[in-house]
Structure 1
Amino acid sequence: MSISKNTFKTEVKEEFFSILDFWATHSVDNKNGGFYGTIDGNNEPKETYKSVVATARILWSFSAGINFIKNTPEFIQHQHLIKDYEVLCKRAYDSLKNNFWDEKHQGVYWAVNAKGEKENGKKLMYGHSFYVYGMSEYYRATGYKPALEMAQKCFNTIINHSYDGKEGGYIEAYNEDWSETDDYILSKGISRKSMNTHLHLLECFANLYRIDKSEKVHFHLKHCLEIMLDRIIGEGNTRMTLFFSEDWTPQTKVISYGHDIEASWLVLEAAEILGDEDLIERCKKVCLPIARDSAEGIQADKGMIYEFDPETGHGNFSRDWWVMAEAMVGFYNAYQMSGKSHYLEKSENCWTFINEHLIDHENGEWYGGVNAKHEITNSSKGNPWKAPYHNARACMEIYKRIS
């Protein structure tokens, strides 16, 4: 059953504020500083390790929330939240700077323990990308100069160590002291470059470029975008390859429906932020077919599965919170690009599915995922990979796009 755009817009707005309220209420670690590493399905926080990814995503989400309120005239009644969000942003900033930044070797630790002491010092570009993403958004929202400086410092660290000037793109990970490693958390062995890391580097370079129009940031944003188009998607393809060797030899044929639909709008957004008309046109030609074919992941219940291996028939058939959030935005973006109403319907169906099966309407936030029978398979509300980024962002995107 289709919903009206007005209803869609109102519901995502209310859910956005509900998500941030949940995190403001349940995630703050008053004992150890920063934010709890885990929040279970009953909203109980746990003293587990804290990831740079989740902490930076929290910083991004509250910073984006400030921007959202400031730039939406009809949110006058929400203005009082800006001060609260600023306090939470500063808390996230302090944790990222004092607990996660490696003064000795530069760059950021992958994880700290519950007390905020280094637990895993590995240098993963995936983590660095969110550090830049969060810090740059914080500066955009508040003009807090130290956040811009940390975003630039982390960006330069990525480029100095990870950029592959010979083959193009960015190497996945290193040991704590930037020596070579073959364990990248996302992958191992010869899979030294990944779609996932490049997608999030693209996102962070684009966000940094909004506030730093230097030649260096321009170069790497354009380079990363071209790598996405030329290598990770590839000429004539409508799906992304997930892992590559250093010389871009593909290492797998697994289809990640969630990442494909996420890329279908992030790639175009990056081109628009870059402001390169030729690349914008090229991205439009690529992104619509990606969205079209990612719809193969939608099941009869209107939920989208995570991934599928066409060679073995195995896959992850969970309807995950982040996949559904990105599908909602990706299909709405496809509707805006094409004017075809079936994409709008898919976006609305994603929201209906989220509403019925993933949102905890009683206690707030979304469960991690459900199976084909709609039984909760992952009840976690917050963990090292789960923060208010995919879902809060999706709500903001839909609201702004309908507006």
Structure 2
Amino acid sequence: MNEATRKQLESYLEKCESELDRVMNFWLTNSHDEKNGGFFVCLGRDGKVYDETKYCWLQGRQVWSYCKLYNNIPKYHTDAILNVAKRGGEFLMKYVKNPENNKCFFTVTKTGDPIKIQRSIFSECFYMIAMAELARATGEAKYKTEAVAMMDQLQHWVMVDDTALGHPRLSGSPAVNTLAVAMIFIILVEELAWDDAELREKYAPLEEWGLKQTMQHIQRNDEVILEVVSTDGNELPGSQGRVMNPGHAIETGWFLLQYAKKRNRPDLRDLAISQFMVKPFLTGWDKENGGILYFLDADGLSPTQLEWNMKLWWPHCEALIAFLMAYRETGEQQYLDYFKQVWDYTIKHFVDPEHGGWYGYLSKQGVVSQDFKGGPFKGFFHVPRCLFMCIGMLQELLK
């Protein structure tokens, strides 16, 4: 590594550490419900709560994030952070999971009364990783037991029978393979079982299922990653079948790259970088205004999603992780160049230097569209995970 690159990496590390401190301070100061437990996630630009509804998948994400930081970064290894994470976990167990069917509510009131339930599995996914990481933080077996029980339920829903999720079987709407469901099980197994060989073996079939399902999204002679395909891995007709989400593909890429490294799969490493990171990034980058477009149509038609040309915080977070990981694994300068390209845009447009925290939603031109820091789909997760992982990789590179 030459001196210029070292200084560049040192600068990134310093900024990541300071930005993580600012983001942590914003959420620690504003989001905790000291009376009822759990977290307020609907936070305005200045951190004030504008809606007391609790979005449960974000509750799980926040517990996981606090525990991950507590378990890995010495300055955050404090009783205060552990206690609030534990209170969040207890809120999840008491109010969010329905013991009658193991489904998690999507929203509850501030006191835990159920409001809404979804027919997807994502609230349950983040409930599971929250319990897994809370078990490591506290050493309490009940949380790991809870995580394993939920993983068993998730495995049943996706590999055996999903009728309990409430999806009607309509003749005109056949079952599909969505990238969101396929790719998430690669990381879920990793989060639950990275330190438990017995669990790793138990869930190996689920991990392989996720990997196989994910590979089906490589379409059109390996040129595109489609968001939804048929269950036998073919392109679907109509606009639904042409949808591409560059940020989602890039996130999947680093899941695969992490998987490939642990299993010594250089073939999968190369595929993860070229197919899931580089091609979606080059296609999804707005060459006129900068930033990663949210949705694209594989035929170049206008996507039907009204927010297709907006710039959202989380694809940029995932691209930062992905390209820094690709650089760490290969040492190739182009991936550090891509990291810098995303970094410069992200720091300039998403960071709020006045109040702390990151904006989530920008127009095509990069103007802040909604100035809240937390909402129904944005909580304390993508930003701290990105900064935490980049800190770890930068420290490793600088060694």
**What is the TM-score of this pair, normalised by structure 2?**
0.86
Does the aligned pair in 1 maintain the 2:36–2:111 contact within 8 Å? yes
Partner residue in 1 for 2:30: 26
The residue type paired with residue 54 of structure 2 is K
1:68-100 Cα deviation digits (max 9, x unpaired):
214xxxxxxx25x52121012112101110111
Partner residue in 2 for 1:303: 291
CA distance in 2: counterparts of 1:194 and 1:346, whole angstroms:
27
1:186-205 counterparts in 2 under 5 A? 189-190=173-174, 192-205=176-189
Pairs aligned (count): 377
Does the aligned pair in 2 maintain the 1:56–1:130 contact within 8 Å? yes
1:162-213 Cα deviation digits (max 9, x unpaired):
314xxxxxx7x65xx5444369xxxx94354311122222211111111443
Partner residue in 1 for 2:61: 57
Partner residue in 1 for 2:337: 345
CA 1:235–1:189: 2 relative to 1, 3 Å: closer
Partner residue in 2 for 1:268: 257
Mapped pair 1:319 → 2:311: yes
Does the aligned pair in 1 maintain the 2:40–2:49 contact within 8 Å? yes
Partner residue in 1 for 2:375: 383
Partner residue in 2 for 1:39: 43
Partner secondary structure for residue 43 of structure 1: coil
Partner residue in 1 for 2:225: 240
Partner residue in 2 for 1:91: 87
1:2-401 counterparts in 2 under 5 A? 4-70=8-74, 78=75, 82-164=78-160, 178-181=165-168, 189-190=173-174, 192-213=176-197, 214=199, 215-229=201-215, 231-233=216-218, 237-251=222-236, 252-272=241-261, 275-277=262-264, 280-289=265-274, 290-296=276-282, 297-300=284-287, 301-311=289-299, 312-314=301-303, 316-401=308-393
- Extract unaligned runs of 5+ from structure 1: 71-77, 165-170
1:7-55 Cα deviation digits (max 9, x unpaired):
1011001111221221111111234431114112232213343222101
CA distance in 2: counterparts of 1:126 and 1:238, whole angstroms:
28
CA 1:239–1:130: 2 relative to 1, 3 Å: farther
Q: What percent identity do the matched residue pairs reach?
A: 20
CA offset at residue 57 of structure 1? 0.7
Does the aligned pair in 1 maintain the 2:40–2:52 contact within 8 Å? yes
Partner secondary structure for residue 124 of structure 1: coil
The residue type paired with residue 207 of structure 2 is L
Which deviates more, 262-271 or 243-252?
243-252
- Extract unaligned runs of 5+ from structure 2: none
Does the aligned pair in 1 maintain the 2:184–2:210 contact within 8 Å? no
CA distance in 1: counterparts of 2:250 and 2:41, whole angstroms:
28
Partner residue in 2 for 1:168: none
CA 1:393–1:291: 2 relative to 1, 3 Å: same
CA distance in 2: counterparts of 1:198 and 1:100, whole angstroms:
24
CA offset at residue 56 of structure 1? 0.8
Does the aligned pair in 1 maintain the 2:185–2:206 contact within 8 Å? no
Partner secondary structure for residue 356 of structure 1: helix
Which deviates more, 16-25 or 109-118?
109-118
Partner secondary structure for residue 84 of structure 1: helix
CA distance in 1: counterparts of 2:210 and 2:298, whole angstroms:
28
Does the aligned pair in 1 maintain the 2:63–2:134 contact within 8 Å? yes
CA offset at residue 122 of structure 1? 3.4
CA offset at residue 127 of structure 1? 1.9
Does the aligned pair in 2 maintain the 1:110–1:123 contact within 8 Å? no
CA distance in 2: counterparts of 1:63 and 1:340, whole angstroms:
33
1:147-168 Cα deviation digits (max 9, x unpaired):
211110100111223314xxxx
CA distance in 2: counterparts of 1:60 and 1:270, whole angstroms:
20
CA offset at residue 123 of structure 1? 4.5
